[in-house]
Homo-oligomer: A and B are copies of this chain.
Amino acid sequence: MAKLEAASTAYLAQTMRVLSNWGCLLVSGDLGKANVMTIGWGLAGPLWGRTFFIVAVRPSRYTYMFIEKNGDFTVNVPSRDMEKIVDYCGSVSGRDHDKFKESGLTIVSSKKVTSPIIYECVVHFECKVEYATDVEPRGLPTDVITECYPHGDYHRLYFGEVLATYADEDAAEHLPT
Contacts and interface: CB of A to CB of B under 8 A. Distances in A.
Please tell me the size bucket of the interface on A: 20 to 34
This chain's copy number in the assembly: 2
A52 B148 CA distance: 15
Most buried by B among A17, A19, A40, A132: A17
A45 B43 contact: yes
B45 A42 contact: yes
Nearest to A39: B46
A141 interface: yes
Nearest to A133: B133
B148 A48 contact: yes
Nearest to A42: B45
A44 B44 CA distance: 5
